Amino acid sequence: MNFIFLIVITSLLPAVSVLCLRIFSRKRQSFLLFWGLSWIAYSCGLICLLVSMENLAPVSNVSLQLRKVIDMFNLLALLLGTYSFIHVKTPSYWYRFSLYLLLLAVMCMIYKTELLSFYLPISVYQLFLTGFICYNVVKKWDIPQTGKIVFCAVFLAWGLCKSIFPILEIFITVRSGLYILEFLLYNMVGLCVLSISISYKEEKAALESTLFKTLIEHSCDVIFYYRLTPYRAFEYVSPSIVARTGFSPSDFYNDPAFYLNLATGRRTEEVADVFEPKLHYKQTHVIEMSRANGETFWGEFNCSLIFGEDNNPIAIQGTLRDVTKGKSTEMENLNAMKSRNTLLSYISHELRSPITSLTGYLVAVRDGTLETDLDRKEAMEIITDKTMLLKKLIDDLDQLSKMETNQFTFDFMTCTATDAAELMIKRNKNDIESLGFEVETQCDSKHLKNYWIVIDMERINQVFSNLLENSVKYSIDEKQMSWKFEVDDKEENFVVSVTDKGIGIKDSNLPYIFEKFYRANADLPGERSVGGRGLGLSLCKEIIAAHQGDIYVETQYGNGTTFTFIIPILKEV
């Protein structure tokens, strides 16, 4: 009966072994792959045992010898599996020992030596293999202590059976029941291997899930999964959505179209396109969006469609990244390129007129076309004026270029607000009055003397002079001007204002008056053409910014303009 049971099991084992080996090799689980190889070797060993039992073949001794060699490689496969479980390379000496014993076995089979001389070296080697397998499990495997004890106990019992039974076969007749016991022990070993592997995989999967969840929840980018069928809904939105947009994940879970709240007025269709599975789906979208507090930012969607079995899109997965800094840099580069093109165009335009005049008068002087001294004198005055105009233009461009490239130097000094005010009045009042302007000056020198500021005197006077020049250009009819030097109510800033009664500035021009080359009210139909280079106010803004101050304008078109700049007061001297 036992023999029949052994035949049935032996016939089934190879098929099951090959099936397991195929499964594990596909899943690339090296630990179980070695166990599958061990199972195949064990099956082959049982076949050899079956052949040798009951004198089924005249080559029973050869079958027993083959079985012993196969059992050696059975244990070797299990040893390789224990190293693979901890991702450690198997020492090469195990391969050398196995090769030496295999050569010894071949020689014993060729010279037909007695079985004891054949079995004994291999049995000793099997005992070593059994011991090292148990050592690896106890010392190096990261599994519960109970699992280690159970596995080692079962495996040690089976390993001893595999080593001792063949030697006993030489001296006594081993009953088939003992082989069934060995078979059951091996299956218990297999059960332990499977349970350890399953437990390890579950722990690894839990760890990976925890790490993946931690990675997603702490990612700066927003990660989302948007279901398309059978109904539309956000299945997942990472917590970083709060930092990026100010909205919570629950806002998106409760409303499948809540993404429209991210769109600014003119960008609604662009945001909606991200969540529409069109035929030619665009995977990357860079869109200007709005946060919960109304603040705008640039977001980059990177999405991909997920398709079902019928090849129809069932979901959209993607990320949302804040690319405001990168977009700002891109726009700054575009503006810089536009500014360079404008500068080249401006230089070409502004230089052409005075150079043409200079060329004409110089040719006239050279050729003697100007006959009278009066004509020559007028020509020289025009040449001088145009030359000074060119010098002023070149100086402004040079200063602006240095300011933008951080090459502009300042000579900062500490002085009282009175010192700064008196310098600006002294340097400019006579010139303005010589042009026929009435100047009203408001300056409480005694009060201002109590406040200290850190400024570059020459640069601040340059700002003041540019503001005066601007007022003169726009105040041809109403030649009245008011200068005010004071400290604000909080005693935090020194405030300088220049007010004129000129034509003023239209509201539509106000956002652009501090931009380079912009000239408000220049060449407007029905208005007096006002010349200029469009650089003065840009320089003023840059210089005041370098003083950690601010400059702004108040105007009413047709009733004059007030330019004001402020400089922080030094708290301690």
Determine the Cα–Cα distance for residues 175 and 118; give it in Å rounded to an integer.
22
- Of the listed ranges 50-64, 161-175, 503-517, the least confidently predicted one is 50-64
Using pLDDT thresholds of 50, 70 and 90, give the confidence band for residue 255.
very high
Q: Is the pLDDT of residue 179 over 60?
A: yes
SS3 292: coil
Residue 391 is predicted with a pLDDT of 80
**Given a cut of 90, is residue 564 above it in pLDDT?**
yes
CA angle 158, 160, 166 (to 5 degrees): 105
3-state secondary structure of 513: coil
**What are the residue ranges of helices labelled H in 275-372?**
324-367
Packing angle of the helix pair 176-217, 2-27 (nearest 10 deg): 20
pLDDT at 227: 92
Mean residue pLDDT across the chain: 80
Residue among 79, 170, 76 nearest 119 (CA):
170
- Between residues 10 and 435, the one the model is more confident about: 435
pLDDT of residue 148: 82
- pTM of the full predicted structure? 0.43
What is residue 527's predicted lDDT score, i.e. its pLDDT? 42
Single-letter amino acid, residue 144? P
Element spanning 281, H or E = none
Span 19-38, average pLDDT = 61
Task: State residue 404's pLDDT score.
Answer: 61
Smallest CA-to-CA distance from 375 within 364, 366, 363, 385 is with 364
Percent above pLDDT 90 for the chain: 19
Lowest mean pLDDT among 117-121, 133-137, 479-483: 117-121
Q: Long-range contacts of range 423-429, CB-CB < 8 Å, 24 or more positions apart?
A: 423/457, 423/461, 424/460, 424/461, 424/464, 424/483, 424/485, 424/496, 425/483, 427/461, 427/464, 427/465, 428/461, 428/464, 428/465, 428/468
524: pLDDT strictly greater than 50: no
HEC readout, 534-553? CCHHHHHHHHHHHCCCEEEE
pLDDT, one tens digit per residue, over 94-104 is: 888 888 888 88
Q: What is the pLDDT of residue 396?
A: 67
DSSP 227: E
Which residue matches tokens 């007129």? 353
Q: Give the rounded percent of residues in the chain with a pLDDT score beyond 70.
A: 82
Side chain identity, residue 553: V
> In degrees rounded to 5, what are phi and psi of residue 493?
-140, 145
Q: Render pLDDT for 288-331 as a digit per residue (tens, 0 to 9).
A: 889 999 888 999 999 999 998 888 899 999 999 999 888 888 87
CB atoms within 10 A of CB 245: 24
**pLDDT (average), residues 131-145:** 84
- Asked if residue 101 lies in contact with residue 88, where contact means CB atoms within 8 angstroms, the answer is no
Helix (H, G, I), strand (E, B) or coil at 571: coil
User: Which residue in 76, 190, 61 sits closest to 129, CA to CA?
Assistant: 76
Q: Return all residues near 162 (Cβ < 8 A) that are at least 6 apart.
A: 71, 74, 75, 126, 130, 182
**Does the pLDDT of residue 29 top 70, yes or no?**
no
| Alpha carbons 374 and 7: distance in angstroms, whole number | 135
Which amino acid type is present at position 74?
A: N
Distances (CA, A) of 414 to 77, 322, 419, 455, 572: 86, 43, 10, 7, 11
User: What is the model's pLDDT at position 57?
Assistant: 43
- Sign of the C-alpha dihedral, residues 168, 169, 172, 173? positive
Please give the torsion angle defined by the CA atoms of residues 105, 106, 110 and 111, in that order, rounded to the nearest 10 degrees.
Answer: -40
Instruction: Determine the length of the chain.
Output: 573
Max avg pLDDT among 200-209, 332-341, 369-378, 526-535 = 369-378
> pLDDT by residue (tens digit) across 421-448?
999 999 888 888 888 899 999 999 889 9
Note the pLDDT of residue 315.
92
Q: Tens digit of pLDDT for each residue in 196-247? A: 777 777 777 777 777 777 777 778 889 999 999 888 999 999 989 998 899 9
